């Protein structure tokens, strides 16, 4: 067995030595590569974790780092089936046997889908004792969650969350230039709006960007099914698949809406599916762990108030929602709000939704990486006077109650500024807001 893995590792290292490294679309996340810390990339399947590693390798090679300082290993390779912790040292040995001059020098190791090896954490902790080594690992959300990383690596890891393509990443993927100066007009504006129309339809999973209508739907449906079965049901030994599927369908049909375990339990009971509230709570936690959905709490200083109020549901990708459940024209506003949620999550932290003292709702209270807070309302169509008044009124009340001065409405097409009782509210079309961070 030992000899088999020795040869497999030697072969893998030799293949990488002559492989052509592609230049993937740059992503909007950065690996920190701090001494003594492992970068751990987490996220749902198919969001591009492996391509993120390849992009970093391409950057290193372009910067002049010799290939004999870089190790890349994909542990889903069938040659590594049955690999255990005690075999992993063979990989380290094989690398430095091939490149003895690299020992003791600055090196970069990339381990893809490392969770396939039981006990991988011990090997990683041992490698991190070498301060000259930069180590990055990825894993599917089935077995490599950020909470588990903190426990397994005992503070020796930095988790980086990777989501599907943002609109800016989709624009780059299509070879379009992101504007440096706003506003843009003419052909550039038309091309960006056309790209946004496509993004509205298929979402941000990298693989489906060039697929035709039938292909992207079937691909995203398969992503959903695999995540449901492997990352939730199999991982947590859930045998009541009808109940789990019901909860997932209900959540995907409810994006940008409020939900609670009590409401879901009542819905299950009405369908003749006997699942208690505690089990529904567990389902919700597992679905969040798998990155399929996110549950946004009420913005409130009281923990009890946050816990007592329903949460708003958002999905990993609006394209996956379109593929997984029947979409109607009425869903446009909800899909737009889902896009806004994910973009705010990429930019920093989405703290919660705000409910004013008068009972009016603001979709998001968010903070960027510097801690600067803002209020954001997502509304596809402001043409109705009643809708416009409701959205603006909620923001004005929230500005006064929270002291947060920056307020924005992200609409489908409208652009402008409204000033009400001294409160200035920016209105910006979604395609521009997704690209322009000013």
What are 94-108's pLDDT values in tens digits? 999 999 999 999 999
Instruction: Tell me if 396 sits within 8 A of 362, measured CB to CB.
Output: no
- Tell me how far apart the alpha carbons of residues 197 and 151 are, in angstroms, rounded to a whole number: 42
Cis peptide before 62 (omega within 30 of 0): no
Q: CATH 3.40.1350 in the chain: give the residue spans.
A: 333-438
Q: State what percent of residues in the chain have pLDDT above 90.
A: 77
Q: State the pLDDT at residue 174.
A: 94
Six-digit token pair at 264?
Answer: 């879901």
pLDDT class of 142 with cuts at 50, 70, 90: very low
- Residue closest to 35 by CA, chosen among 97, 107, 122: 107
Judged by DSSP in three states, 57 sits in helix
For residue 164, the 8-state DSSP code is: S
- Tell me how far apart the alpha carbons of residues 207 and 226 are, in angstroms, rounded to a whole number: 16
Q: State the pLDDT at residue 145.
A: 56
Q: State the pLDDT at residue 215.
A: 96
pLDDT of residue 421 exceeding 70, the answer is yes
pLDDT class of 353 with cuts at 50, 70, 90: very high
Q: State the pLDDT at residue 310.
A: 95
Q: State the pLDDT at residue 150.
A: 56
- Residue closest to 172 by CA, chosen among 199, 153, 138: 199
Judged by DSSP in three states, 206 sits in helix
Question: Averaged over 194-209, what is the pLDDT?
Answer: 96
pLDDT class of 257 with cuts at 50, 70, 90: very high
pLDDT of residue 349 exceeding 90, the answer is yes
- Tell me how far apart the alpha carbons of residues 232 and 91 are, in angstroms, rounded to a whole number: 31
Q: Rounding to the nearest 10 degrees, give the CA dihedral for residues 336, 341, 344, 345.
A: -140
Q: Round the average pLDDT of the chain to a whole number and report it.
A: 92
- Tell me how far apart the alpha carbons of residues 159 and 145 are, in angstroms, rounded to a whole number: 9
**Residues sharing a CB contact under 8 Å with residue 96, sequence separation 6 or more, in sequence order:** 102, 103
Superfamily of domain 2-162: P-loop containing nucleotide triphosphate hydrolases (3.40.50.300)
Q: What is the pLDDT of residues 52-95, one digit of tens each?
A: 999 999 999 999 999 999 999 999 899 999 998 899 999 999 99
The architecture (CATH level 2) of 211-327 comes to Orthogonal Bundle (1.10)
Helix, strand, coil shares of the chain, percent, nearest 5, are 50, 20, 35
- Tell me how far apart the alpha carbons of residues 180 and 306 are, in angstroms, rounded to a whole number: 40
Place of tokens 């979409």: 327
What spatial distance separates the first Cα and last Cα of the chain, rounded to whole Å?
58
- Tell me how far apart the alpha carbons of residues 230 and 112 are, in angstroms, rounded to a whole number: 18
Query: Considering only 130-139, 166-175, 400-409, which range has the smallest mean pLDDT?
Result: 130-139
What are the backbone angles phi and psi of residue 259, rounded to the nearest 5°? -150, 170
Six-digit token pair at 83?
Answer: 């690999």
Instruction: Tell me if 315 sits within 8 A of 283, measured CB to CB.
Output: no
423, β-bridge pairs = 420
Q: What angle do CA 215, 240, 114 make, to 5 degrees?
A: 60
Q: State the pLDDT at residue 203.
A: 97
Question: Averaged over 381-395, what is the pLDDT?
Answer: 97
Q: What string of DSSP letters covers 350-397?
A: EEEEEE-TTS-EEEEEEEETT--EEEEEE-S---SHHHHHHHHHHHHH
Find the farthest-apart pair of alpha carbons in the chain and give their distance in angstroms, rounded: 77
Q: State the pLDDT at residue 237.
A: 93
CATH of 333-438, one of 3.40.50, 3.30.70, 1.10.101, 3.40.1350: 3.40.1350
pLDDT of residue 192 exceeding 60, the answer is yes
Instruction: Answer positive or negative: Cα dihedral of 261, 262, 264, 268.
Output: positive
- The H-or-E segment that residue 157 falls in is strand 157-161
What are the backbone angles phi and psi of residue 70, rounded to the nearest 5°? -125, 130
Q: CATH 3.40.50.300 in the chain: give the residue spans.
A: 2-162
Judged by DSSP in three states, 138 sits in strand
What are the backbone angles phi and psi of residue 290, rounded to the nearest 5°? -80, 0
- Tell me how far apart the alpha carbons of residues 119 and 347 are, in angstroms, rounded to a whole number: 33
Question: Averaged over 160-175, what is the pLDDT?
Answer: 95
pLDDT of residue 167 exceeding 90, the answer is yes
Question: Averaged over 346-355, what is the pLDDT?
Answer: 96
Q: CATH 1.10.10.10 in the chain: give the residue spans.
A: 211-327
pLDDT of residue 151 exceeding 70, the answer is no
- Tell me how far apart the alpha carbons of residues 37 and 154 are, in angstroms, rounded to a whole number: 10
Instruction: Tell me if 211 sits within 8 A of 202, measured CB to CB.
Output: yes
- Residue closest to 224 by CA, chosen among 44, 374, 380, 23: 44
Query: Considering only 154-158, 205-209, 351-355, 424-428, which range has the smallest mean pLDDT?
Result: 154-158
- Tell me how far apart the alpha carbons of residues 196 and 168 are, in angstroms, rounded to a whole number: 10
Six-digit token pair at 111?
Answer: 């381990």
Q: State the pLDDT at residue 148.
A: 63
Q: What is the pLDDT of residues 360-383, one digit of tens each?
A: 999 999 999 899 999 999 999 999
């Amino acid at each position: 067995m030992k000899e088999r893995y020795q040869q497999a590792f030697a072969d893998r290292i030799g293949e990488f030595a002559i492989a052509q490294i592609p230049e993937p679309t740059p992503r909007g996340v950065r690996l920190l590569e701090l001494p003594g810390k492992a970068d751990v990339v987490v996220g749902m399947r198919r969001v591009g974790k492996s391509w993120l590693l390849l992009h970093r390798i391409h950057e290193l090679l372009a910067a002049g780092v010799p290939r004999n300082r870089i190790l890349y290993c994909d542990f889903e390779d069938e040659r590594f089936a049955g690999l255990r912790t005690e075999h992993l040292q063979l990989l380290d040995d094989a690398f430095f046997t091939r490149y003895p001059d690299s020992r003791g020098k600055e090196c970069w190791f990339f381990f893809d889908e490392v969770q396939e090896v039981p006990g991988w954490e011990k090997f990683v902790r041992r490698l991190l004792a070498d301060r000259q080594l930069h180590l990055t690992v990825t894993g599917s959300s089935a077995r490599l969650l950020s909470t588990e990383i903190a426990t397994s690596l005992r503070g020796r890891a930095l988790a980086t969350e990777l989501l599907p393509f943002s609109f800016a990443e989709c624009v780059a993927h299509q070879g379009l230039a992101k504007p440096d100066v706003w506003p843009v007009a003419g052909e550039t504006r038309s091309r960006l709006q056309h790209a946004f129309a496509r993004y509205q339809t298929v979402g941000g999973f990298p693989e489906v960007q060039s697929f035709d209508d039938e292909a992207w739907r079937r691909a995203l449906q398969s992503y959903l099914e695999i995540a449901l079965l492997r990352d939730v049901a199999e991982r947590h030994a859930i045998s009541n698949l009808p109940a789990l599927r019901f909860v997932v369908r209900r959540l995907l049909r409810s994006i940008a809406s409020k939900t609670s375990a009590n409401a879901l339990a009542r819905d299950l009971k009405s369908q003749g599916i006997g699942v208690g509230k505690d089990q529904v709570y567990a389902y919700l936690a597992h679905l969040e762990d798998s990155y399929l959905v996110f549950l946004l709490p009420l913005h409130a200083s009281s923990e009890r108030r946050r816990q007592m109020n329903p949460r708003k549901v958002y999905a990993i990708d609006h394209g996956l929602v379109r593929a997984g459940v029947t979409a109607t024209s009425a869903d446009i506003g909800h899909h737009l709000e889902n896009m806004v949620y994910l973009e705010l999550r990429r930019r920093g932290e989405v703290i919660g939704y705000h409910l004013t003292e008068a009972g009016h709702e603001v979709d998001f209270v968010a903070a960027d990486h510097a801690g600067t807070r803002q209020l954001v309302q997502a509304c596809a169509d402001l043409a109705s006077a009643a809708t416009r008044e409701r959205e603006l009124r909620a923001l004005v009340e929230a500005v006064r109650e929270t002291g947060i001065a920056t307020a924005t409405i992200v609409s489908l097409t409208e652009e402008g500024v409204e000033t009400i009782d001294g409160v200035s509210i920016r209105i910006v079309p979604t395609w521009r807001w997704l690209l322009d961070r000013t």
